[in-house]
Structure 1
Amino acid sequence: MRARYREHVRAEVLETAHDLIAERGWDRVRMSEIAQAVGISRALLYKEFGDKPGLGEAVALREAARFIEGIEGVLAHHGSDAAGGLAASVGFVLEEAENSPLLRAVLISNRDALPSATGILPLLTTSVRLLELASGSLAQWLTSHVAGLREDEVSDAAEALVRLTVSHLALPTRSRVDTARSITEVGLRYLGLSGTPEQGS
């Protein structure tokens, strides 16, 4: 019973903190208001997360896990179709980042940025890990489903494609569909694969 209650409280805290961060920015979120909104004491909140940076990192990791699960779900629907899988995964990243201010902050956070200017200090340690996880998911799918690819080339290509996608988030110049198509074509050429991403993938 105690474990279930703790799990419930933790989920409520993370959801509440996520919404407040998206609405106001990290700097304006207070631990006391989160505790009050959830209906727990500040002492319990600090016991569970340690401090405010600990809570911020937990929120970012929760968003990251949801994001990676989404990428893997998208790729699972494309079998050995490299063009379709790449285009769909890039499109998913772009769409999710548009819909989630917190995810966008994690993906394009600059490790050299001043915390006082960005208000996303707890997210910075998560961003590199998230990029690694996204690259790893894409590389694993390619290696498992597309025959004849070298593991080192797949790893390099996956990381490059993820970074290209994140660069578009920071400085978009094309529509989501055009961006997904162009990034996919880069990946296909690098890996020596044929295929053209379909409109709307």
Structure 2
Amino acid sequence: MTESYERVPYQEAARLLLRESILGAVHDLLLERDWSKVTMTDVAAMAGISRQTLYNEFGSRQGLAEGYALRLVDRFVDAVESAVYAHVGDARAALVDGFAVYFHASAEDPLVRSLRNGAAKPDLLRIVTTDSAPLVARASERLAETFRRSWIQAPEADSSILAHGVVRIALSYVSMPPASDRDDAQELAALLAPYVDIVTRV
């Protein structure tokens, strides 16, 4: 029996590849220098595209940072989703695993390090605070779907509440990392797991 695959239209696939190449270029540049010293010209040159193409895709330097942040939250959702499916029936273990992977990845990410270190960067801080609505909406929608479709089988309203809470908590750690003298992943799991257990039994 031949398996069927959903085809991605060429233009959409090409655009996704372009965005990934650009964000990869940002990542590589941030390994060499602080965000304050990264220019659109630098990014275009690193990605092998014109400045006009870069501006057409992201609009501005702030738009580029927001695009990078969206990729970061997508990876957080991927981590939580993988943890949920790896720990069937064990909400606490899934949450510990998901948060722990996220904390480690955030600490290693060059844009997050740039935000946390050196001079204050109001443009980056706004993305994860006052202007974080796009990040929260995207991550919450994806996580809520995971909570509904996985073994948790959460009702729609409960999956939305849980996803929104998890995402808002996770974003708060971007600008302020976990305390060195506490196990934040364990503590957050202890706080949230009882709610997961309740909605799983509904």
Q: TM-score under structure 2 normalisation?
A: 0.65
- 1:120 paired to 2:124: yes
- The one of 14, 35, 38 equivalent to 2:44 is 35
Q: Distance in 2 between matches of 1:42 and 1:171?
A: 34
- Per-residue CA distance 1:34-89 (angstroms, 9 max, x = gap): 22223333233223333322322222222322332232122121222222222222
- The one of 81, 94, 101 equivalent to 1:92 is 101
Pick closer, same or farther for the CA change 1:103–1:121 going to 2, 3 Å.
closer
Partner of 1:181: 186
- The residue type paired with residue 124 of structure 2 is I
- The residue type paired with residue 89 of structure 1 is G
Match of 1:120, SS? helix
State the shift of 1:152 in Å. Answer: 4.8
- The residue type paired with residue 34 of structure 1 is V
Pick closer, same or farther for the CA change 1:49–1:83 going to 2, 3 Å.
closer
Q: Work out the percentage of aligned pairs sharing the same amino acid.
A: 31
Q: Aligned-residue CA RMSD in angstroms?
A: 3.8
- The residue type paired with residue 19 of structure 1 is D
Q: Is the 8 A contact 1:96 1:103 kept in 2?
A: no
- The one of 58, 63, 88 equivalent to 1:54 is 63
Q: Is the 8 A contact 1:105 1:123 kept in 2?
A: no
Q: Distance in 2 between matches of 1:140 and 1:104?
A: 30
Q: Distance in 2 between matches of 1:171 and 1:48?
A: 31
Partner of 2:77: 68
Match of 2:25, SS? helix
Q: Distance in 1 between matches of 2:99 and 2:15?
A: 36
Q: Distance in 2 between matches of 1:68 and 1:140?
A: 11
Q: Distance in 1 between matches of 2:104 and 2:88?
A: 22
Q: TM-score under structure 1 normalisation?
A: 0.65
State the shift of 1:9 in Å. Answer: 4.1
Partner of 1:82: 91
Pick closer, same or farther for the CA change 1:12–1:167 going to 2, 3 Å.
closer
Q: Is the 8 A contact 2:147 2:159 kept in 1?
A: yes
State the shift of 1:15 in Å. Answer: 0.9
- The residue type paired with residue 118 of structure 1 is P
